[in-house]
């Protein structure tokens, strides 16, 4: 019997007012359920598509240490952003505005690069666009101006301590104390700051491993310049930093990974987003790719065009004139486009894991 003949027979033999009424009720309920489901999906899609519900606020705090230093706290606010100048950098954020009053926000620590300027220290301001983008998405970002250290080995102890002290100073500040959630803690680091982020996450640096990697190596000067390879580091035993913190997520941008071996990374078991630049002079096989292979859980790996310094914000004229190697890209590299991409990727990764 054909399908339409079957339906005609059913309609003729079994249809009744009570059955029609039942079918109509079921149909109404099904339509209502579909409507509720569609509204829920639409709401979730809107929430995912438009996470930037805040403006960026910014404040400087002074952190007490052996050498006192400043840190910037970049945070969500309802106040409108106003462009202001800090040295050569133009920053879009509301200075000293009140933090937004929603539930406590997750915290992201940041360590800037500057392996070449260990003695002079450095600044997080060349990364301000990335930091403010995270504040607009509901993160409190703490970024110290790392002061100088006498020797590179000392910096491996100094900078994790500075990160820890900057976090504590922010949490002790009455403006932020009840609005930042120390139980939802992540960290980002670029280059030397990537090594600092790993140490703060519990990794143990291995100077003997670094010296062995750099011995007779001329193809990775960014990782190896200045590293003694005369055997003086052969018996140095690494130890876990007393300033290691309970991290829930890491973002590492072109990190100095040759400092670590597999055994020193066993505690770094949190979700990790690992960036590599295609044209970098930091040799990927000994740093980024070696880390990816050695971490206890495979990280999410992303590759971007450009050189090592592609993660620094597009430069204003004065820094570009002073540091062209940091600021200038190959003609086919669009640094602004790379930053739009990484801001979205990093924000999404941290939202999922903090």
User: E-strand spans in the chain?
Assistant: 55-63, 69-77, 82-86, 89-95, 105-111, 140-144, 180-190, 249-253, 272-277, 300-304
Kind of pairing, strands 180-190 and 105-111?
A: parallel
Q: At what angle do helices 152-172 and 192-200 cross, to 10 degrees?
A: 60
Predicted confidence at residue 16, as pLDDT, reads 44
Predicted local distance difference test score (pLDDT) of residue 20 = 47
Identify the pLDDT of residue 52.
Answer: 60
Q: Are 248 and 184 in contact (CB under 8 A)?
A: yes
pLDDT tens sequence for the chain (354 residues): 434 333 333 333 334 444 444 445 444 444 544 443 444 444 443 334 345 689 999 999 999 999 999 999 999 999 999 999 999 999 999 999 999 998 799 999 999 987 666 777 899 999 999 999 999 999 999 999 999 888 777 899 999 999 999 999 999 999 999 999 999 999 999 999 999 999 999 999 999 999 999 998 899 999 999 899 998 888 888 899 999 999 999 999 999 999 999 999 999 999 999 999 999 999 999 999 999 999 999 999 999 999 999 999 999 999 999 999 999 999 999 999 999 999 999 999 999 999
Q: How far, in Å, CA of 230 to CA of 237, rounded?
A: 16
Q: Which two tokens stand for residue 205?
A: 């640096």
pLDDT score recorded for residue 31: 54
Tell me the pTM: 0.85
Q: Is 287:259 a contact under the CB 8 Å cutoff?
A: no
Output the pLDDT for position 270: 98
pLDDT the model gives residue 1: 40
Query: Distance between CA atoms of 338 and 336, rounded to whole angstroms?
Result: 5
Altogether, the residues listed in the chain come to a count of 354
3-state secondary structure at position 88: coil
């Amino acid at each position: 019997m054909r399908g339409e003949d079957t339906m005609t027979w059913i309609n003729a033999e079994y249809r009744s007012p009570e059955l029609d009424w039942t079918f109509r009720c079921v149909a109404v309920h099904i339509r209502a359920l579909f409507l509720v489901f569609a509204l829920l999906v639409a709401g979730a899609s809107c929430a995912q598509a438009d996470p930037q519900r805040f403006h960026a606020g910014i404040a400087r705090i002074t952190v007490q240490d052996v050498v006192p230093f400043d840190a910037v706290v970049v945070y969500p606010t309802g106040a409108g952003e106003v462009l202001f100048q800090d040295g050569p950098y133009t920053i879009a954020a509301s200075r000293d505005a009140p933090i937004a009053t929603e539930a406590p926000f997750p915290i992201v620590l940041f360590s800037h690069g500057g392996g070449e300027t260990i003695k002079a220290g450095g600044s997080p301001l060349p990364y301000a666009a990335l930091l403010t983008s995270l504040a607009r998405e509901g993160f409190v970002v703490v970024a110290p101006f790392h002061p100088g250290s006498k020797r590179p080995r000392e910096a491996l102890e100094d900078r994790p301590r500075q990160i820890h002290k900057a976090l504590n100073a922010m949490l002790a500040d009455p403006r932020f104390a009840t609005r930042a959630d120390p139980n939802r803690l992540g960290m980002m680091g670029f280059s030397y700051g990537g090594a600092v982020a790993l140490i703060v996450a519990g990794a143990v640096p291995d100077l003997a491993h670094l010296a062995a990697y750099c011995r007779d190596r001329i193809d990775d000067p960014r990782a190896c310049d200045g590293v003694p390879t005369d055997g003086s580091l052969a018996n140095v035993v690494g130890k876990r930093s007393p300033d290691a913190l309970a991290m829930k997520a890491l973002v590492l941008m072109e990190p100095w990974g040759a400092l670590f071996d597999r055994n020193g990374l066993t505690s770094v078991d949190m979700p990790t987003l690992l960036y590599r630049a295609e044209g970098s002079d930091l040799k990927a096989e000994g740093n980024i790719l070696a880390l990816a292979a050695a971490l206890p859980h495979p990280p999410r790996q992303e590759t971007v065009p450009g050189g090592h310094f592609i993660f620094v914000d597009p430069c204003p004229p004065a820094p570009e004139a002073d540091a062209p190697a940091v600021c200038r890209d190959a003609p086919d590299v669009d640094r602004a486009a790379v930053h739009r991409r990484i801001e979205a990727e990093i924000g999404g990764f941290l939202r999922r894991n903090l």
